[in-house]
Amino acid sequence: MTKTAWVFPGQGSQALGMGIDLQDISLAKSKFEIAEKVLGWSILDICQGDDETLARTLYTQPCLYVVESILVDLLTERIGLPQLVAGHSLGEYVALYAAKVFDFESGLKLVKKRAELMDSAAGGKMAALMKFDRSQLMTALTETSDVVLANDNSAGQVVISGTPEAVAEILGKVKAKRVMTLNVSGAFHSPLMQEASEQFLDVLNSVNFNDAQVPVLSNVEPTPATSQEELKRRLVQQMTGSVRWREIMLQFSQSEITNIIEVGPGKALCGLIKRTCREIKLETVGTVVQLNAKTLVMSS
């Protein structure tokens, strides 16, 4: 029996030109117009502007949310809902939208506020480590204050987040084949985002949540949930909590998922899943061409 999950990438997966091929589809036009009213700027203008502007958190997160949500609508219209959804960091908001937890505009208002708060965060640093000694890293994190494991992406790839001094201390202690400092202003997914998280609560509490029509795997607790109270509680913790993507991938196998579609630009999540869940069939839907190809296969 086929069991499908949809996954949604977050910040870092954006690409210049994303969403442009959607602009002539009436459903997409409507969403782009709503987005411009909520944001005060055009998603399409930013997506066909320059890399530096698109890469700024203030613009990246709403652009990804809008483009991925439109793809969700088109995919749902053509093949129906999947059996499970999950999103990486910002992608979790699209997962909740796909599961009908909140409407498009409410989700965008949340993402807008989140992007503003994260864009204005300062004084933090994040670094990615590839091919490292996990026990050595975990020991170092335990012994060092003001730095945490922010993204546990896979067995061989993580991101640490904290003060610049603490991050440098970890990098001096842990051997890794490759280290990459991330181009972000703050220490995302760490306790240093507590103040931003508290400010975000005002907007979050104003949004009406529904029970999910499809189970959602949350970043901070990678077990299937549909309860609106539970999903909101998990989202409250997301800005300061770790993205436990490695555990989410293991949950796909435990939930007997056979097919996964990465909905959005690129194939970063498929790359991680491929190395962890070799038995699962992977596809990407980030363009109209890919969407039409997927629909054609389903109807044949």
Residues 56-110 have pLDDT tens digits of: 999 999 999 999 999 999 999 999 999 999 999 999 999 999 999 999 999 999 9
pLDDT digits (tens, 9 = 90+) for 141-168: 999 999 999 999 999 999 999 999 999 9
Mean pLDDT of the residues in the chain: 95
300 pLDDT above the threshold of 50: no
Active site residue ranges: 89, 189
> Kindly report the CA angle at 270 between 280 and 5, in degrees rounded to 5?
55
175 pLDDT above the threshold of 60: yes
Q: What angle, 0 to 180 degrees and rounded to 10, lies between the N-to-C axes of helices 228-238 and 194-206?
A: 150
pLDDT at 297: 54
**In whole angstroms, what is the distance from residue 146 CA to residue 153 CA?**
20
State percent of the chain over pLDDT 90.
Answer: 94
Q: What angle, 0 to 180 degrees and rounded to 10, lies between the N-to-C axes of helices 91-98 and 228-238?
A: 170
**In whole angstroms, what is the distance from residue 169 CA to residue 155 CA?**
22
Cβ neighbourhood burial of 26 (10 Å; 0-12, 13-18, 19+): exposed
Q: Tokens for 76, please give them.
A: 């749902």
Who wins on pLDDT, 1 or 55?
A: 55
pLDDT digits (tens, 9 = 90+) for 33-55: 999 999 999 999 999 999 999 99
Instruction: Sketch out the chain's domains with CATH numbers.
Output: 4-120+190-299 (3.40.366.10), 125-181 (3.30.70.250)
Quickly count: other Cβ atoms within 10 Å of residue 37's Cβ: 9
Where are the alpha helices (H) located in 133-227, listed in sequence order?
134-143, 164-173, 194-206
242 pLDDT above the threshold of 90: yes
Q: Residue 1's pLDDT band (boundaries 50, 70, 90)?
A: confident
Predicted TM-score of the model (pTM): 0.96
**In whole angstroms, what is the distance from residue 169 CA to residue 182 CA?**
16
**In whole angstroms, what is the distance from residue 87 CA to residue 217 CA?**
8
298 pLDDT above the threshold of 70: no
Average pLDDT for residues 236-253, to the nearest whole number? 96
Cβ neighbourhood burial of 250 (10 Å; 0-12, 13-18, 19+): middle
Who wins on pLDDT, 216 or 184?
A: 216
Q: Residue 122's pLDDT band (boundaries 50, 70, 90)?
A: confident
